[in-house]
Amino acid sequence: MSNTSELVQVAKASLYPNYRQPDLVFGHGRGAELFDLDGKRYIDLFAGIAVSTLGHAHPRLVAAISEQAGKLLHLSNYYYNEPNVVLAERLCRLTNMERGFFCSSGTEAIEAMLKLARRHFWANAQQQRVRVIAFNKAFHGRTLGALAATGQPSYQEGFGPLSPTTHVAYGDLDAVKAAMGDDVCAVIVEAVQGEGGVTPAPEGFLQGLRDLTTEAGVLLLGDEVQTGVGRCGTFLGFQSFGVEPDAIALAKGLGGGVPIGAMLCKPFLINALPPGSHGSTFGGSPLASAAANAVLDVMQETDLLKHVSEVGAYLAQQLAGLAEKHPKIAAGARGRGLLQALVLQEGVDARAVVEQLRDKGVLVTVAGGVALRFTPPLNVERALLDEALNVVDEVLGGLS
Ligand SMILES: Cc1ncc(COP(=O)(O)O)c(C=O)c1O
């Protein structure tokens, strides 16, 4: 079973049909390029939904994973393992948090953070604080807890009843104030709404949330699953706004492609989840931790955050130029660092544009139903971006 049509046939007959994959099978990648089984080359500007921080087959990541696999792959949390201890200390330093809990995905990190909030108040004799304030168009994951915070009704349909949550408009501090009450335990927010359409927090919004939550005595939870690990040009998306939440969730880019999630919190929260109250068999595995350490090593040694800021600014400028050039198709550009979007005009079928780009060898994703989202590997080179942007220009030109 090695050719595309055979594999696609078997996939359609055996995989659960909850995704919408095209008839394409990828075999390998190199940097920001992917190759399908027929040898066709694609420029990868989606990086597995903002995951492949160092691109594909980065020699440092490959070496770290191989070396760790030969030593110790898995242990569980019954004992410490060195790569995980090292990683925890590094992440606390990078984020100015006090402690880190490890799991294997973004949703699990969010779930841990929501449980942290509830149990913190339960342990402080405020059991009534169970409600969360979240934002319309937010995406926080799909387990029942995280799904309650996700502010997109289409994802929630058919899964209720969900945990008590109030959704308000992203950017609307008055609405947050109005939704506040003594049953609220936390406000959860993304510094840039990724899945919702690549919408950066409006000026002053995150600081306003910081002030409101402090005043109300509730937690500010930062969902850094998509924005974290350098994606916005700072280690955390929140750092680019100069605001510190009480706890954060990381995942996606942290392992450069190896599944890992982390929840980090401030000192006053370190007793909220005592032994036995929460856990994960795979969380903090030596393999995933070694991968994350390799990502952080390369990030530091190559000054990757500076590269993200520079190339991100370039990409933003080029996308804004394309929007000006094709005003009937594109309405504008927005984003932060290498989380950028070209917003399409109402009525333009974003999915069809993504398909046309893919046929011409450029991979991007749709965000919020209205935008082409660009989340390339953080070490993407400008020349490759230029090559891909020429294709975007051509496709938009064909639609105008
Ligand atoms: C902001 C945000 N939070 C949480 C998640 C869920 O992460 P995962 O798919 O790893 O469970 C995502 C995934 O897209 C995300 O973008």
Ligand 1 centroid to Cα of residue 283, in Å, is 16
Same domain, 208 and 87: yes
Token representation of residue 285: 């595995």
Mean pLDDT within 325-330: 98
Q: Is 52 in the pocket of ligand 1 (CB under 6 A)?
A: no
End-to-end CA distance of the chain: 42
- Choosing from 268, 301, 334, the residue where a domain stops is 301
Is residue 381 very low, low, confident or very high in pLDDT (cuts 50, 70, 90)?
very high
Q: Is the pLDDT of residue 83 over 80?
A: yes
Same domain, 307 and 292: no
Mean of the per-residue pLDDT values of the chain: 98
* CA triple 120-125-127, angle to 5 deg: 75
User: Is the residue at 230 inside a domain?
Assistant: yes
Q: Is 190 in the pocket of ligand 1 (CB under 6 A)?
A: yes
For 252-265, what is each residue's pLDDT tens digit?
999 999 999 999 99
Whose alpha carbon is nearest atom 10 of ligand 1? 106
* Torsional sign, CA 292, 254, 106, 86: positive
Ligand 1 centroid to Cα of residue 107, in Å, is 6
Q: Is the pLDDT of residue 341 over 80?
A: yes
User: Is the residue at 64 inside a domain?
Assistant: no
Q: Is the pLDDT of residue 52 over 90?
A: yes
Q: Is 107 in the pocket of ligand 1 (CB under 6 A)?
A: yes
* Cα(31)–Cα(14) distance, integer angstroms: 31
Mean pLDDT within 178-193: 98
pLDDT of residue 2: 73
* Longest pairwise C-alpha distance within the chain: 62
- Choosing from 279, 301, 323, the residue where a domain stops is 301
Which of the listed residues 252, 365, 375 should we mutate to test ligand 1's pocket, taking the one with most ligand atoms within 8 A of CB?
252
Is residue 1 very low, low, confident or very high in pLDDT (cuts 50, 70, 90)?
low
* Structure letter (DSSP) for residue 31: B
The range of the structural domain enclosing residue 244 comes to 72-301
Same domain, 246 and 360: no
Ligand 1 centroid to Cα of residue 394, in Å, is 32
* Cα(197)–Cα(254) distance, integer angstroms: 22
For 272-325, what is each residue's pLDDT tens digit?
999 999 999 999 999 999 999 999 999 999 999 999 999 999 999 999 999 999
- Across 84-103, b (16+ Cβ under 10 Å) vs e yields beebbebbeebbebebbbbb
Helix ranges (DSSP H) in 124-234? 144-149, 153-156, 173-179, 205-216
State yes or no: cis peptide before 275, omega within 30 of 0: no
* Cα(160)–Cα(149) distance, integer angstroms: 12
Ligand 1 centroid to Cα of residue 351, in Å, is 20
